[in-house]
C-alpha cells in the first residue's frame, strides 16, 4: 500500500519546460521533467524531502560514491492510460527491490513515504510530462548515493536519495543482435549481481564495447564458472521460446529479479503459455536456433519492455532468428502487458496504481 507522503518542501518551477517534449521524437534519457526530489539521510536520520526545479547539484570532489561506488538506482515507469489518468506500474515492487539493493551496498533503507510518496508528489506536479503514444511512458529514476566527504573505505554515514523523471519511447530502434559472452562476466555467486548498483553497469561497458566493435548491439551474459548457462542480456532479463514453451533462467544471486520478467511470467501463465524457470544452456539454444526449435529470444526490462533479438552470435557464427509477427509469443506478452498498463484491459493482477 502506498501510505501518505510526509510533509514535502515544494519549490515549484516558475515556468514549465514541457513545450520541449515532442512525443514523436523522444530519445531515451535525454530530457528531464520540471522537478526532482531530494532527500538527505544524515547519520541515519531522514531529513524533510524537498521537491525542486530540475537542475545541477554541487558536491565536494571527495564524496564516497564517486570513489567507491556506493550508488544504487531503480528504473520504473508511469503511463497515461486510455482515460487520461497517470498510472504507475507495480511501484511497490521497485520500492522493495531498491531497499534490497541498499542493504547489499550497506546503505540505509529509504522509507516508503519518501520513495512512493515522493513519486506520487512528483508525478502530480509533472503529470503533463507523461507522453501520449503507444510505446511512450515517463521513465522514473529513483537513486541514492553516498555523500560523506571522506576518502577512507567504509560505509558512508550520509546519503542522498533523489528521483528524476524522463520521457521515454522505444529503447531500441531495431531488434538487437546479441553476442554470447564467454570471456567476461557480469556477476558471480556471492557478488552484487542481484543488486541494482551502479558498478554492475560500469563493469558491463567494456565487454559490451568490444561486442559492439564486432557488430553486435548487446551481450548475452553467461554464468561465471562455466560460461555454459545463460544469465541475463545487457540490462535485461532474457527469455527463450523453445517448441512453443517459454524458458528463462531462474533468478539467483547473480541475476536481477526483474519486475517486467515477473509480470511476463504471470501473463504467460494466464494466457496458457507454458513457462519454465530453469537452467538454460547455451548449447541447447544455439542448436535449437539452428534446427528451428528455438523460435524467439527476447529481453525484458523496464526500459526495453519486451525486446526480441534478431540474431545470437556464438563462437564467431551468427544464428539468425525468425522475424517476429503479431502471433509471436513476445508480441502476445508485450501487447498484454501494454494493454494492462494503458488501461485497455482489466488489471486482473492489481499492478496499476493510479496517481
Ligand atoms: C531499466 O530497465 O530500468 C534499466 O535498468 C535499464 C537502464 C539501465 C537503462
Which domain CATH number covers 266?
A: 3.20.10.10
Same domain, 327 and 189: yes
Which tens digits make up the pLDDT trace of 5-62?
A: 578 999 999 999 999 999 999 999 999 999 999 999 999 999 999 999 999 999 999 9
Percent share of the chain, pLDDT over 90: 95
CB 245 within 8 A of CB 275: yes
Q: How many domains does the chain have?
A: 2
Same domain, 158 and 211: no
* pTM summary value: 0.95
Question: Which residues span the domain enclosing 160?
Answer: 9-168
| Gyration radius from the chain CA atoms | 21
The residue among 150, 168, 186 that closes a domain is 168
Q: Is 319 found in the same domain as 181?
A: yes
- Partner residues linked to 179 by β-bridges: 219, 313
Q: How far is CA 321 from CA 28, 204, 242, 296, in A?
A: 26, 25, 12, 6
pLDDT of residue 243: 97
Q: 3-state DSSP call for residue 61?
A: coil
Indicate if 31 and 102 belong to the same structural domain.
Answer: yes
The domain boundary, picked from 168, 189, 217, lies at: 168
Give the pLDDT score at 3: 56
Q: Are residues 159 and 189 located together in one domain of the fold?
A: no
The pLDDT value recorded for residue 25 is 94
Q: Which of 105, 113, 120, 20 is nearest to 68 (CA)?
A: 105
Percent residues over pLDDT 70 in the chain = 98
Is 236 a member of any domain? Answer: yes
Give how far Cα 266 sits from Cα of 121, 247, 336, Å.
30, 13, 11
**152 pLDDT more than 70:** yes
Assess whether the C-beta atom of 303 lies below 6 angstroms from ligand 1: yes
Test site for ligand 1: of 166, 234, 302, 337, most ligand atoms within 8 A of the Cβ: 302
Tell me: pLDDT of 142 over 90: yes
- Answer yes or no: is pLDDT of 2 > 60: no
The protein residue whose alpha carbon is closest to atom 3 in ligand 1 is 75
253 and 135 together in one domain? no
CA distance 320 to 312: 6
Nearest ligand 1 atom to alpha carbon 73:
5
Same domain, 143 and 200: no
pLDDT at 4 > cutoff 80: no
3-state percent helix, strand, coil for the chain, nearest multiple of 5: 25, 30, 45
Amino acid at each position: 500500500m502506498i501510505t501518505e507522503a510526509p510533509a514535502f518542501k515544494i519549490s515549484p518551477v516558475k515556468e514549465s519546460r514541457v513545450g520541449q517534449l515532442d512525443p514523436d521524437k523522444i530519445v531515451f534519457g535525454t530530457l528531464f521533467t520540471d522537478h526532482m526530489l531530494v532527500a538527505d539521510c544524515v547519520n541515519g536520520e531522514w531529513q524533510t524531502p524537498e521537491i525542486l526545479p530540475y537542475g545541477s547539484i554541487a558536491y565536494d570532489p571527495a564524496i564516497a560514491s564517486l570513489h567507491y561506488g556506493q550508488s544504487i538506482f531503480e528504473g520504473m515507469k508511469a503511463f497515461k492510460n486510455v482515460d487520461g489518468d497517470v498510472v504507475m506500474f507495480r511501484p511497490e515492487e521497485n520500492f522493495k527491490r531498491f531497499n534490497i539493493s541498499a542493504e547489499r551496498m550497506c546503505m540505509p533503507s529509504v522509507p516508503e513515504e519518501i520513495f512512493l510518496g515522493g513519486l506520487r508528489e512528483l508525478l502530480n506536479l509533472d503529470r503533463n510530462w507523461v507522453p501520449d503514444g503507444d510505446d511512450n511512458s515517463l521513465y522514473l529514476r529513483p537513486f541514492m548515493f553516498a555523500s560523506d566527504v571522506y576518502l577512507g573505505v567504509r560505509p558512508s554515514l550520509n546519503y542522498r536519495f533523489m528521483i528524476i523523471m524522463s520521457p521515454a519511447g522505444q529503447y531500441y530502434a531495431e531488434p538487437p543482435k546479441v553476442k554470447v559472452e564467454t570471456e567476461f562476466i557480469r556477476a558471480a555467486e556471492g557478488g552484487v549481481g542481484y543488486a541494482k548498483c551502479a558498478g554492475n553497469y560500469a563493469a558491463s561497458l567494456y565487454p559490451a564495447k568490444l561486442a559492439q566493435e564486432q557488430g553486435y548491439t548487446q551481450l548475452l551474459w553467461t554464468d561465471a564458472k562455466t560460461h555454459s548457462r545463460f544469465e541475463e542480456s545487457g540490462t535485461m532479463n532474457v527469455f527463450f521460446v523453445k517448441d512453443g514453451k517459454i524458458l528463462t533462467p531462474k533468478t539467483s544471486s547473480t541475476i536481477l529479479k526483474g519486475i517486467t520478467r515477473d509480470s511476463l511470467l504471470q501473463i504467460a501463465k494466464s494466457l496458457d503459455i507454458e513457462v519454465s524457470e530453469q537452467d538454460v544452456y547455451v548449447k541447447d539454444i544455439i542448436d535449437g536456433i539452428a534446427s528451428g526449435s528455438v523460435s524467439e529470444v527476447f529481453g525484458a526490462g523496464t526500459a526495453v519492455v519486451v525486446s526480441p533479438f534478431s540474431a545470437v552470435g556464438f563462437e564467431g557464427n551468427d544464428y539468425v532468428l525468425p522475424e517476429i509477427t503479431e502471433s509471436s509469443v513476445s508480441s502476445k506478452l508485450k501487447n498484454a502487458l501494454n494493454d494492462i498498463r494503458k488501461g485497455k484491459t482489466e488489471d486482473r493482477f492489481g499492478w496499476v496504481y493510479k496517481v
